[in-house]
């Protein structure tokens, strides 16, 4: 009886191991990136006033990068070569560009990206923490 309980417990533990490993799996680019964002295009409107920032943080989880450009949430999958790209639309009603582009690459712990639309844009230079 004790032996069968021990075998059952061992079988349960072995059966759950793949689940634990996948839950703990991290993509090669996962982590927190921090650094600066600098203006590359502006029409000096109120929407473009806060582009320059010294403490920008971006998190990559399961090879998915999320970032917010004003009211527009952006989400991109990081490819195996570190590149990512996403185009979003629908923010014109908030006074922002009707389309926003977010494109860049992660290489050797550095994330370099361009984000913005036809009204204003910025460049991110971030380092993995």
The CATH code of the domain that includes 88 is: 2.40.128
**Structural domain includes residue 19:** no
pLDDT digits (tens, 9 = 90+) for 14-73: 444 444 444 556 899 999 999 999 999 999 988 888 999 999 999 999 999 999 998 889
Residue 27 corresponds to which tokens in the numbers above? 């993509």
Domain range for 83: 26-128
Burial letters for 93-105: b for 16+ Cβ neighbours within 10 Å, e otherwise? Answer: eeebbeebbbebb
pLDDT digits (tens, 9 = 90+) for 68-101: 998 889 999 999 999 999 999 865 544 455 789 9
> What is the maximum alpha-carbon separation in the chain?
78
**Structural domain includes residue 7:** no
* pTM score: 0.76
Give yes or no for residue 109 having a pLDDT over 50: yes
Q: How many domains does the chain have?
A: 1
Smallest Cα–Cα separation from 90: which of 114, 69, 65?
A: 69
pLDDT at 89 (0 to 100): 83
**What radius of gyration do the chain's Cα atoms show?**
21
**Structural domain includes residue 34:** yes
pLDDT at 83 (0 to 100): 98
Q: How many CB atoms lie within 10 A of CB 67?
A: 21
**Structural domain includes residue 8:** no
Query: What angle is formed at CA 118 by the lines to CA 112 and CA 123, rounded to 5 degrees?
Result: 15
**Structural domain includes residue 122:** yes
pLDDT at 10 (0 to 100): 46
**Structural domain includes residue 13:** no
């Amino acid at each position: 009886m004790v032996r069968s309980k021990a075998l059952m417990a061992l079988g349960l533990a072995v059966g759950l191991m793949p689940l634990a490993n996948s839950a703990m799996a991290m993509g090669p680019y996962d982590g927190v990136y921090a650094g600066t964002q600098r203006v590359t295009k502006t029409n000096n409107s109120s929407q473009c006033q806060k582009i320059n920032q010294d403490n920008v943080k971006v998190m990559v989880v399961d090879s998915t990068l999320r970032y917010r450009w004003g009211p527009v949430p952006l989400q991109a999958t990081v490819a195996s070569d570190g590149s990512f790209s996403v185009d979003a639309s629908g923010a014109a009603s908030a006074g922002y560009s009707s389309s926003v582009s977010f494109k860049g690459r992660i290489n050797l712990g550095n994330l370099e990206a361009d984000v913005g639309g036809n009204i204003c844009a910025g460049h991110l230079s971030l380092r993995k923490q």
